[in-house]
Amino acid sequence: MKAVRVHQYGGLEALTYEDVPLPEPKEGEARVKIEAIGVNFIDIYHRIGRYQGALPLTLGQEAAGVVDAVGPNVTDVKAGDRVAYASVQGSYAEYAVAPAWRLVPIPQEVDSQRAAAMMIQGLTAHYLAISTYPLKQGDTALVHAAGGGTGQLLVQIAKMRGARVIGTVSTEEKAALAREAGADEVILYTQTDFESEVKRLTNGAGVDVVYDSVGKDTFDKSLNCLRRRGYMVLYGASSGAVPPLDPQVLNAKGSLYLTRPFLAHYTADRAELMGRVNDLFEWIAAGKLKIRIDKTFPLAEAAEAHRYLEGRQSKGKILLLP
C-alpha cells in the first residue's frame, strides 16, 4: 500500500510517498481502508520535529473509511462498518490500524469526507467550549483564527452556548466566514490592533476567555485582553511556540488562568470520546453545526497540502484522498 512518511525531520522535501507493508491488526485493533484523511497543524509539527517520534514516521492523526479487518477481542466495530477516528498516528496511508475503541461509527447521513473533517477540529472545538472553559450565557470569548477550520466550529459552538464572540482573522474573506459562523464582532488583525479593539468592544472590561491557536504572535496581547481572573486557553501555535513565561505575569495581569490543553486528554476513554462525537453528529444532523471543507488533495500531494496550511491560507478543513 501507499503511505506518506518522514525519514528525517525537515521541510516539505521530508515527505516521501512510498510503498509500505499492509499493517495487520493486533489484539484490540482494527484495520481501516481509508477514504478521507484530515490534515492538521500537528502533522507539520511532526514533520519538522517539534514533536518527535520513532522514524520513519507515517504522518497523520485523523481519517474516515471502512473497517476491513479486526484483531482478536474486538467488540466495538466489525468488518464493513463505516468509521472515523482521531488522535491515532499513521493516517496518511491507504490503510491504517487503530485501537478499536477509538473508532466511532459514522451516521448514514454523514459522508466520509465530512466525518474525517469533523474529528480533530470538531472534537477540539467541543472540548474547548464545553470543558476547558465551559462557556455560558453572557460570557464573551475572543477566538483567534475565527475563519479557519477549528475557529469556525468553535464560533458556532460558542454561539450555541449563548456567548458573545469576538473573532480575529487575517483577510476579508476569512472575516466573512467568521461572520457566517456567527461571530458578533470580527477584527482584521492585519489592519487593526486586536488588543485595543477588544478593549473598546468590551468597554475596557476584557473578555472572559481567549481561545488562542496562533501562539507566539498573539499570546502576549491575548493576556492583555482578559478580564480579572480570565482564562487564557492556548491550544495551538501556528505562528510558532510561545517563549517561556514567568508565572508572576499572570498575577500582574489580574490573577489570570493559563492552560495548554491537548485533545487526547479530553477523549481519554470511549465514553468521553463518544459523548463528544454524538453531540457533534447530532448538531450536524440538525443543521446547527456546519463543516466547511476548504480543499482536497490527492494523498501523493501531501506536500502541497502542507504548503497550503503553513501559508495560513486555510478557510476550512483540508483533506487528503487516497
Q: What is the pLDDT at residue 85? A: 98
- Our measurement of the distance from residue 109's CA atom to the centroid of its chain's CA atoms, rounded to an integer in Å, reads 22
**Per-position pLDDT tens, the chain of length 322:** 999 999 999 999 999 999 999 999 999 999 999 999 999 988 999 999 988 889 999 999 999 999 999 999 999 999 999 999 999 999 999 999 999 999 999 999 999 999 999 999 999 999 999 999 999 999 999 999 999 899 999 999 999 999 999 999 999 999 999 999 999 999 999 899 999 999 999 999 999 999 999 989 999 999 999 999 999 999 988 888 899 999 999 999 999 999 999 999 999 999 999 999 999 999 998 999 999 999 999 999 999 999 999 887 778 899 999 9
Q: What is the pLDDT at residue 41? A: 87
- CA 252 to each of CA 223, 246, 248: distance values in angstroms, whole numbers, following the listed order: 11, 11, 6
* Helix 149-160 vs helix 112-127: crossing angle, to nearest 10: 60
203: left (phi over 0), alpha (psi -120 to 50) or beta: left
Short-list 229, 214, 128, CA closest to 168: 214
Whole-prediction pTM value? 0.93
- Our measurement of the distance from residue 40's CA atom to the centroid of its chain's CA atoms, rounded to an integer in Å, reads 7
Fold of 2-119+264-321: Quinone Oxidoreductase; Chain A, domain 1 (3.90.180)
Instruction: Write down the residue that cell numbers 501556528 correspond to.
Output: 238
Q: What is the pLDDT at residue 137? A: 98
- The superfamily in CATH containing domain 137-260 is NAD(P)-binding Rossmann-like Domain (3.40.50.720)
For 155, the enclosing helix (H) or strand (E) is: helix 149-160
- Which CB contacts under 8 angstroms, 24+ apart, belong to 217-221? 218/144, 218/168, 218/189, 218/194, 221/193, 221/194, 221/195
Task: Give domain limits for the chain.
Answer: 2-119+264-321, 137-260
